[in-house]
Each structure stands twice: as structure tokens, then as C-alpha cells.
Structure 1
Amino acid sequence: MQFNIVADENMPNVEPWFSPYAQSIRRVAGRTLTANALKDADVLLVRSITQVNKNLLSGTPVKFVGSATIGTDHIDQSFLKHQSIPFYHAPGCNAQSVVDWLLSVLCRLRLDHELNWSQKVVGVVGIGHVGSKVANRFKQFGTKVLVCDPVKNANGELPEHIDLESLLVQSDIVCVHAPHTRSGDYLTHQMLNADRLSLMPKNSWLINAGRGPVIEESALLEARVKNGLNIVLDVWPNEPSVSVPLLDAVHLASPHVAGYSLEGKFKGTEMLARAFAKEFGLTAIKSVPLPNGVTVDARLFEKSDVEQWASEIVLALYDPARDTAVMRFSAGNNQLDARTFDALRKEYPTRREIASTTIAHAPEVLKKRLKMFGFTHFK
């Protein structure tokens, strides 16, 4: 059985995973994909920037949709179900990548703002694949962690849950990993509005690597001025456009790439390929191996303070200050436009996860600290 496959141009390894079953594989720009491009397509593989709905799929022969993402807010699953089109996504594929991104952010804040983050109270909003890993990683450092996920709590899965207002009041650092929803009992659209942001302690930190529209932009800028709120954003309220006032207001910025590790991308494509093979009863697909990770010599980053030393090593793998500088340099007078935003994501440098890295010549006291970050290979 052979299939005509249309895939987002930014998905890695589509060819090695899918070519044994492909009559053709055509790459497209996910943001501007139209129904006309799918007139001969059997399989559609997308990322979060493509809205998959009736407008896109009506009149096309598409019989399988896969999204190499954790979230599904860009997919009209009701329509797909009504049309009997199988849908699969990749929950958890890049969760570790987001955790590593967050750790790099915190290391940069430690060095630039003397933020002793592991000794603060951290609130995590959204305890799904990403949020649960974030909360567990903080606990490795002995950090006090508060969690909020009303959906899980309602299902009896999160007895330690506290309401959002209480979490905001008590937290020095709030990490947002909630999905974007516009309906239901627990809608998240602009849930962080002026009233709620005003509850946060003066000079506290808000870090969002979930979905941009869960925060109201005007309220965020107001809280920055009135309450000294410190902001770090990977996702943006009006993404893919980013206003210059908001870009100027944040301490660190990145173009929705927290989950963009090589490992996360590989895993997302693999999960879709295996689901595709199972759906159509195809023979097992051979694995596509990851490239070897890098080795970092700890002596090159030596500092007398072990926490600073560890922070320098983490930042050697990925430094969010680079993304911040690139975004600001790329912005026009009024905004970073959608085309530029997408280009930054498309041309994003390869980033490896912490666990893939080998650390050489680290003394025991440094190894102990690095293991808290997730490093596992030493020599």
C-alpha cells in the first residue's frame, strides 16, 4: 500500500520514517497550507501552526492526520471523527526539551539577576506531560513546588492541587504549561488577566512556555509597570506576531521553540510513523537513530561557586540570551511580523537535550549538582 503524503516543511525525518510506504512526500509551509495543496493527499502531517478543520480538509482525499505536537488546540477533532479520519498526535514528545529550556532560562536569570530560583516558591500551572516533568525536576533541587490543574484535580488525579488564585499569591516564580482552550468548564483563554496578575507578589517572575493566548497582553504589560512583574516568554498572546512593547518588556524571549530539541523533534515524527503503520496494518518501521551527543569539558567553565559553575555548563548547551537578542534584532518598528517569526523557527539552530550530553572532568561536587539538572553521562 502506497500513500501520497503532505508534511510540514519543518518536521524532521519524515522521509526515512515514511518513505517505505510513500508514493510521494511533499513538503509544505504549515502556516499557509490550503485545501488545494491536499487535492491528491492521503496523509497530512502537521505541527501546531496549521489549523486542521473543515475548511482545510473538505473535498480532499485525506484519510490520516498526524500532528507532531503535544497540544491539539489546532485540530478540529470533532470534524475528523465525523469524517472517520484517524487522528494521532505526539503527547510528551518534547516535554523534556521544554524542561531543559526552562532550566537554561533559570540559569541565565541566576547569572544576570542573581535569582536563587531553587530556594524560591515555584508555582506550576498545568500538570500535563510537560508540567509534571517540570514539577518533578524542581523537586530534585529541593524546591517548594505548588501545582494547579483543575481538570486533573476534578478527575481525582492531583490531590495537591491548589486554585490558581492561591498559587499566584504564594509563588515567587510561576511557570505556565497549560493548554489553550476557549470552551468547557476550565477554559484557559486569557485566564491570566489583570485581576489575576495583580495577585502576584511584587517583582515575582512569570514564565510561559505553554500557549500564548492564556495570558492577556495588555494585562501583562500593565503588571510589568504597576507591580514590577518580571516576564519570560517562549509563546506569545498574538503569535505569530509579537508587539515590540511586549518584546521590550520581557527579560528573555524565544520564538516558540522551548520544545525544539533534536530529540523532541525526532520523537514526534517517530510517534506519528508508528501510529500510521499500526493504523493501516503496515509492517514495522525501522528506527531512525539519533546522532551522538556532544562532550563538554567542565574545566572550561570552572567557577569557585558550584551553582554558578553548573549554570555556565547548562548555558553552554543552550543560552536563551541568544534567542532574545535575535528576536529583538529581527523586529521592525512596531512588531516582529509573522513571516519573520516563522523564519526564526524554521532556521532554528539544532539544540540537544541535557541527557544526551557527556560531561568530562567534573569533580564530585559538580557532578552532584549537574545530576539535579538531568545530566547522566560523565567521564
Structure 2
Amino acid sequence: MKILADKNLPLVKELFSPFGDLSLISGRDIKNENLVGVDALVVRSTTEVSKNLLTNTSLKFVGTATSGIDHISVDELTKRGIYFADAKGCNANAVSDYCLSAVATIFGDKISAGHILKFGIIGNGSIGSKLSGKIKALNWETLICDPPQKDKDTEFFESVSYEPLQHLSSCDVISVHVPLTTSGKYPTKNLIDKTFLNSLSDKTVLINTSRGGVVDEESLLDSLNQNSQLISVIDVWSGEPFCNQQLVEKSFIATPHIAGYSGKAKKTASIKIFKEFCRCFNFDFSEVASPHLKLENIPVRRDSIKFSDAINQVLPIMDFSSEFKSLLRNSEKKDRASIFDTLRLKLSGRYEFCEYVAPKKLGQKETEFLFAAGFKS
């Protein structure tokens, strides 16, 4: 059996090499000619699995170690009878950590003072629901918008506060967690458009960790230029690995698609795809993957640490943003895609909040925030 995989997937050699002839290359370099005689393909979001890629191949399995699948032509895989697997939900904790780190960075003083935020979540799938659970643990007001899920499961929404999109415009924070879709009853391309942006309250924080293209970048840039109090936190970009340089500069926090890039999330995704690979080919994976999921138990340095410092030690989101902005600002346009990918790889593998022990001697509200976010006591 021949297996081709993205070389940047964690555990890929340990998991897949015992089951076939494994070749590893960069995800962006995977082309149709690389798939001659290949039975299984394992990718990340950097590989576009399209009709052109699949033409005249003998693939039996395609797996992507990502939650989003807008880079995969699922219809084409179905048409060809190719087994498909994704890693939906594996990065839910990591993305939640990123969002809460941004919130703590922006609202640290208000959180310390017990201020209750109004939080809007667009998309209540595996990531959105994970984040909303943590927000609800803080007793903050939470508004959720997810029309497709409401259509599918009306009983589910009896336990949440479902609102149409326009009702979220009064929230202090709006966090986007939807797939990028261009068809169907509820397409999400440019979901966050000029009309919605113009309706936002002053000092609204808009966080996008879903996919580039869900937010209309030109409209967001116009809004940021017109409303100096609007705060954007952007981790995903249209046309990655290229991104809108002006939007990078205008965003309060800008990062190269790293929200879901924790070590635990990446390993969990690889293991999930490996298990689906085994199911496809009737291999016995038994307990081969279990040793790789051991969580750490890391103390945050110094007992009397400030709340903002505790978050910054664990996920220094402002440092990540500053480095990203600086590297792009001082580069030529032709080098920016490489900078995006290199920095993304460099910033991957971080620990999650659930692997840290919260510092003592913090205020009650600060401690409540850390525990709700997932820190250990």
C-alpha cells in the first residue's frame, strides 16, 4: 500500500508507516503527479483536494486533519467512491483558548472587576458549543446564531438562546465559528458583510477563527477605518497563505491561522484520521494511539502573578500578533506566503489551558475566568 501525507502532520510516521510505503511532502506541494499509485492521502488545510488533483488516481482514502473541509471537494470524493474522513471537533478546545485569550487581553480589567460581557457566537457546532459552554460557566449572557442547526434540531435550541444574526449586533464580543460555504439555504461566504458591520455597537470585538471569506474583508477594513472603536481579532484570511496587508495592520490582533494549533489538537486530529484510515482498510489499530494523548500538568509561574500575565504566559496572543505584523511589514510581497506558512508552523504545538494549573492569590472573578477557560485548580 502507498500512503502520501503532509510532512507537517504530528505522529504521521509513527501512525502510518507500519501500514504501508509512506511518503511525506509539504502540503502545498502535493500535485496530481504525486498521487500515481497512491492508495491513501492524508492532508491539512494547505492542500486543495479538487477534481484536478483526483483525476486518473486510484485513491481509496482521503483524510484531512482539520475541522473545516472547504479545501476538500467532498462531492468529487463521493462520486469516485473514495472514503473520506475529517477531524471535526479535535481543535475545539484550542480555538476556545485562543478566543478567551483575546477576550482576556482586551477586557482584562473589566473581568477582574466582575463586569458581565454579552457574548455572541455564530455557529454552534463542535467549536462554537465548546466556547459557549465556557462562556456560560462565567454566567455571561450568551446569544447563539445557527440557523442550519436550528432547522435540523429544534429541540436542541430549547436549551440555548437562539437569535437571528442581526440580534447579535449589540454584543460586546462576536465570535465566528462556521464553515465556509457558497451554496445552500444559508451560505456563509461574506456572512459578516457591510450591513452587519455597520450595525455593530461601538467597541464591539469581532473574532474570526473560522475561515477566510466568511468575513467580507474589504467591508471590515472600511468599517475599521470609519469606526476607530471597532476591534477585530483575525486568525483566518481570504487567499491564504496570502492575506490582506492593510487588514493585518488595522486588526487589533492578527495571526496566521493558529487558533486551533495546539499540540493536543494536532495529535488528536492525526489519531482520529489514522483510526478512520484503519477502518477503511480493515486494519486493527487497537490501542496504538493512546500513549500520545497524555496531558501535561504545568504550573503557571509565580503564585502572585497578575491575571493578564497568567493568560499571556500560556497563550501570548499579542506577541504572536506583533511578530506576524512585523514580519509582513518588513517583507516584500513575494515573500509573504512563505512567512505566513513558516510562522504558522513555528507557533504550532502550544499547550492548552487544560494542561496548566491556575496560579493562586488571584481575585475571585479572575480565578473563575481561568477555571471556566479550562485551567486546573
TM-score by length of 1: 0.90
**Quick one: which of 3, 23, 45 aligns to 1:5?**
3
**1:283-362 correspondence to structure 2 within 5 Å:** 283-285=284-286, 286-287=288-289, 288-290=291-293, 293-297=296-300, 299-303=302-306, 309=307, 311-331=308-328, 332=331, 337-359=336-358
How many Å apart are 1:191 and its aligned residue?
A: 1.4
Give the corresponding residue for 1:246.
Answer: 247
Equivalent pair of 1:110/1:116 in contact (CA under 8 Å): no
Determine if contact 1:263/1:353 at 8 Å carries over to the other structure: yes
Measured against aligned partners, the alpha-carbon deviations of 1:241-292 in whole angstroms (never above 9, x if no partner) come to 1222111101111110100001100110111111111122111241242455
Q: Is the 8 A contact 1:194 1:220 kept in 2?
A: yes
**Pairing 1:80–2:81 present:** no
Assess, with a 3 A threshold, how the Cα gap between structure 1 residues 301 and 28 changes in structure 2: closer, same or farther: farther
Residues 1:84 and 1:324: Cα distance change in structure 2 (over 3 Å): same
Corresponding residue SS for 1:231 = strand
Q: What is the correspondence of 1:119-268 to structure 2 with a 5 Å cutoff?
A: 119-155=116-152, 156=154, 157-159=156-158, 160-168=161-169, 170-228=170-228, 229-268=230-269
Matching residue's letter, 1:267: T
- Distance change (3 Å), C-alpha of 1:178 and 1:293: same
Kept after mapping to 2: 8 A contact 1:118/1:143 = no
Of 53, 57, 60 in structure 1, the residue corresponding to residue 54 of structure 2 is: 57
> Secondary structure of 2:342's partner?
helix
User: Conserved in 2, the CA contact under 8 Å of 1:130 and 1:177?
Assistant: yes
- The number of equivalent residue pairs is 367
Aligned to 1:109: 106
Name 2:65's counterpart in structure 1: 68
Task: Give, in whole Å, the separation in 2 of the partners of 1:370 and 1:184.
Answer: 39
Q: By how many angstroms is 1:370 displaced?
A: 2.8
Amino acid across the alignment from 2:340 = F
2:25 corresponds to which of 24, 28, 49: 28
8 A contact 2:180–2:214 mirrored in 1: yes
State the 1:360 CA deviation.
Answer: 6.2
Calculate percent identity across the aligned residue pairs. Answer: 31
Contact 1:126/1:177 (8 A) holds in 2: yes
Mapped contact 1:123–1:146 kept (Cα < 8 A): yes
Contact 1:193/1:220 (8 A) holds in 2:
yes
CA distance in 2, matches of 1:221, 1:89: 33
Q: Select between 252-261 and 361-370 the one with higher mean Cα deviation.
A: 361-370
Partners of 2:16 and 2:72 lie apart in 1 by 22
User: Residues 6 and 26 of structure 1 are in contact (CA less than 8 Å); yes or no, is this contact kept in structure 2?
Assistant: yes
Change (3 A) 1:167 1:359: closer
User: In structure 2, what is the equivalent of residue 14 of structure 1?
Assistant: 12
1:94 offset after TM fit, Å?
0.6
Provide closer, same or farther for how the CA distance between residues 335 and 59 of structure 1 changes in structure 2, counting only shifts above 3 A.
Answer: closer
Q: CA RMSD in A?
A: 2.3
Q: Deviations over 1:194-250 (max 9, x none)?
A: 111101012211111111101111110111122332111111133221222111101
Report Cα offsets for 1:27-77 as digits up to 9, x if no partner: 112123100111131110011121112100111221100011111111111
Change (3 A) 1:18 1:222: same
- Give 5+ residue unaligned stretches, structure 2: none
Structure 1 runs not aligned, ≥5 long: 304-308
The CA deviation at 1:102 is 1.1
Task: Measure, in 2, the Cα distance between the counterparts of 1:300 and 1:197.
Answer: 42
